[in-house]
Structure 1
Amino acid sequence: MQSRLEGEKTYLQIERFASGRISTDRPDSSQLVDLHVYVIPKSVWKDRQLLAQNDAIGDAISVGFVHVPQSMNIHDLRQQIKQLCRNEELLPVHFIFLKSVGRCLTRVKPHQEIELKVKNYRPPQTYASEVFLLEGRHEDYTQTPSVFSSLSSITYQSDNPIQHTPGRLTYASHDQLSIRPGFNNDMSTIHHPTNNYNQQRRSWTKHTQTGESDANDALSKAEHVRQIRKQEEDRKRRELDEQRQQQAVLERQKKQQLENSEVLKKRLFELRSRRDELEKLREESIRRLRSVHNRISLRRKEEFLYYLLARAMWKKRYFNEKKKMPPLEGRIHHLQTDLSQTQNKTIINMDQESKHAAQTGFLKEAEIGSIHVERAKIQHDIQDVRYLVDQAKLRLTTDIKLRNQAENECRSLRHELNQAKMNLNHIKHKVMVR
């Protein structure tokens, strides 16, 4: 089939070359599709039933996706997956393709990998564009011959009815007499070869009394009974072997559980030790924080006392200076009054002299006198304005100092409030821990 595909590919390339087109081995990008690749864990795969439930898809592990043509078969897809996902640590070296058929995921046989294509793993044939892999080879998941032989023997025994002949009792009749009645009525005939042998013997005696007296038939029947007994012994031996294997598996599981319990105990001991160390570290940190807090509190108390002493000292000085202010202000007011009276008198005298000079004919001297009078008035007004400015500056300085003091007090109060909140949260945390 592969040689046929290669021949068709060569023929198409020759036709394209003859028609003047350039042939390339690259597939058409419109035919390429994305296929998500998952790996099903071995823990959800049922080795006895050779399947996995569709719910196992929820435990699948993603290893990436491939961009391949829809018409590519699964055998070629295997190589693409190995090539594109070779750097993935989760991708197994050997894997088997799985396909969801009905309610379960089943294996894709090697000859089916050539028949199935990528489009069989895409909608509408599947729910989503994805392919599932199982780690291992096909040989790792085949049933043992003993299972097939036991299944085939049971099927043969259930499908063959009891055969009666007038001359002899065949193998099928003895098989049905020995196994089928015991299977339907009483399981004790299967587990006790002596009872089975007696039953076969009674059956053989019954048939001999009805007219079967041939010695060769009797010998063949006895040989057949011996074969049945041998088969029963072989079956019991296999059952004992299976029981031993099951017991070995159970012992191995118990040993593994004990090992797991030891590991868990060791891990628990390590976690407890780590917890004790962390508790000691926590207590040490709390002790250090308390000492730092105490030192900070002591320093703040000292600073607060120093602040109170400085405040009291400056307050005392302020009141002392304030007591000195009234006589000084009275003296300044008296001097200002005298100064203003003197200036007014001087201005009046200069004004009278300028008027007298104008009346006597000294116009130039009168004009100069009037200029001096105006200058004196302006200087007097400037002095008054300067005094008012100085008073305003003094009041502004006082207000600025009061504002700065209020800001400092507000800042200290806010800091104390934050400290009180921290202490309250610390107390609440202690109460919750206890």
Structure 2
Amino acid sequence: LVELHVFYVPAEVWNFKLNTVPVALTSKFVSAGFIRVSPHITLRVLREKLGEYLGGVTVTDKFRFLKCIGKKLAVVKAKQETELELKSFVPPYALYPELYLLPGVEHFEDVYSLPSLTQQKHHIIEEANRFGHGSRLSRLSQQKPEKSKPFLESIKSRRQVENLEVPSPVEWGKTESVPVSQTNNKQDKNKRIPEKEFGEKGKLNQLADENKQNNLTCPKEYVSPPSPPFLALALNPAQVPVIQAAKNKMVEQLQQTKKDRRHMEKTREELTKKAKGLLEQNKLRRYHVREEWKKRYFETKKATVSLEDTLNKLQQDLELYHQKLLLQLEARDSPKRPNNTATSKNYTIIRIATVQHELDQLRRKLDDTKMRLLIEIKMRKQAASDLRALRAELTQKKIHSASFLQSRKSGI
């Protein structure tokens, strides 16, 4: 089973014109709880049992599922609900295990696919009534003509005055091309004036209807002002060759800079390859030296075990021989001079042998200590070198992982 966090998308966040909502606005969504379902059931099955999964909450059927595509949430069509499974809403198929619902909607159609402007107006009014915005649009449609009536009347009167005072060039052409008397010209002018007024009234009525329709279809549309004209710079003809030469020089410098950059990049790649090769060679050489030293160490250690056993046996034999020698010397000298043992010759020999034996033991201990100390120094040096190699490798892996994560973030 997978766990999905269910969110309701508020109506004020949804873009009815584009039929989508950005992912950046997910902080404004309303949480409906979470559900635990099988990842292999479809959205159509989930639609029928969503209330049970949410803990017995009554959920209306008038909602649409949304799916995160890129940086926006898109509406899932009815046919797609029978094909999409819930595993496509959890990682790794999705960034977060979340399910988005748009309540109060049964289906969406393309607003711009209708054939006429009146059908567009009716369709948008119906969609607004579904989401509770119908009263606002009807108030806009009622207020806009009332506000535009005095404005249209002022434009109409202004146009009539202009048409009465100044004749158009077309009228001048017509009056000059037709040879009639002055009274006939006055009658034609008097006839043209009401015709113009009728034509202007028709145009104004048509403009008013178009404004009404535009206000109904796009109440919040913003028309950007025209861009300012480009300023024409006055150039001296004598400066044109100088400017052209400077331009050519800059183009040549740019091309030369590009060539130098390519050459430097190529050199950098070659140096990087060489450095990597040297690092690999150094690592391989150190590995071989370490392995050879380990091999020699273990072979020497194996041979040392048998030598130490032989040495211990010889030391025991030497100790026994020394004890026997001392006993023999003491037994030979004791019946001759029992009271003056300090000045006897045998006593001197015994003391010399004893001191020599102690010196030999001290030398052996010193040699053992030296050997152990050398082994310990070598082992510490080897451990320090291995530690430095491991730290360098760890630093390289950290840098590689950081660059990989940064590239993934930039790609996302």
Bigger relative CO (Cα 8 Å, ≥ 6 apart): 2
Normalised to the residue count of structure 2, the TM-score between the two structures is 0.36
Larger Rg: 1
Query: If each structure's helix is expressed as a fraction of its own residues, which one has the higher value?
Result: 1
